[in-house]
């Protein structure tokens, strides 16, 4: 009888410790941790350029790209792929999800 009570006590103690440990919060990062740059929250400049080049190769295979320009405007990346003649494609790509929002030909 005493051994059963001892086993119950050990089991209850084990479960109490397990439940207490499960309720603990994970450690928070130190205040001195380096903040990530804003660009890492969404689409980077390089990934926006790659998306524009991939789309241009699929839709406008005849375009020979001589220059690539990319700039951030608000929540979008504006990527221009320009040929030797000066004409090209201008893409507006969401900085949040990388989707192409606009695609324009220019001279």
pLDDT per residue as tens digits for the range 18-37: 555 556 555 555 554 444 44
Tell me if 97 is assigned to some domain: yes
Asked if residue 8 belongs to a domain, the reply is no
18 assigned to some structural domain: no
Residues of the chain with pLDDT under 70: 1-41
Residue 20 placed within a domain: no
99 within some domain: yes
| Residue 13 domain flag | no
- The torsion region of residue 14 among left (phi > 0), alpha (psi -120 to 50) and beta comes to alpha
Determine the 3-state secondary structure of 30 from DSSP.
coil
CATH number for the domain that contains residue 73: 3.10.450.630
Domain range enclosing 56: 41-106
| C-alpha to C-alpha distance for 78 and 82, rounded to whole angstroms | 13
- Is residue 50 one of the residues assigned to a domain? yes
Total domains present in the chain: 1
Q: Residues of 1-27 as b/e, b for ≥16 C-beta within 10 angstroms?
A: eeeeeeeeeeeeeeeeeeeeeeeeeee
Q: What predicted TM-score, i.e. pTM, was given to this entire model?
A: 0.62
- pLDDT, residue 2, reads 56
């Amino acid at each position: 009888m005493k051994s059963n009570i001892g086993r119950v006590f050990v089991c209850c103690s084990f479960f109490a410790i397990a439940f207490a440990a499960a309720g603990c919060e994970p450690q928070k990062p130190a205040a001195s941790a380096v903040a990530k740059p804003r660009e890492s929250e969404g689409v980077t400049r390089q990934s926006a350029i790659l998306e524009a080049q991939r789309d241009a190769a699929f839709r406008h295979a005849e375009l020979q790209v001589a220059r690539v320009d990319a700039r951030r405007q608000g929540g979008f990346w504006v990527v221009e792929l320009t040929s030797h003649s000066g004409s090209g494609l201008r893409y507006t790509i969401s900085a949040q999800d990388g989707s192409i929002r606009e695609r324009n030909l220019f001279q």
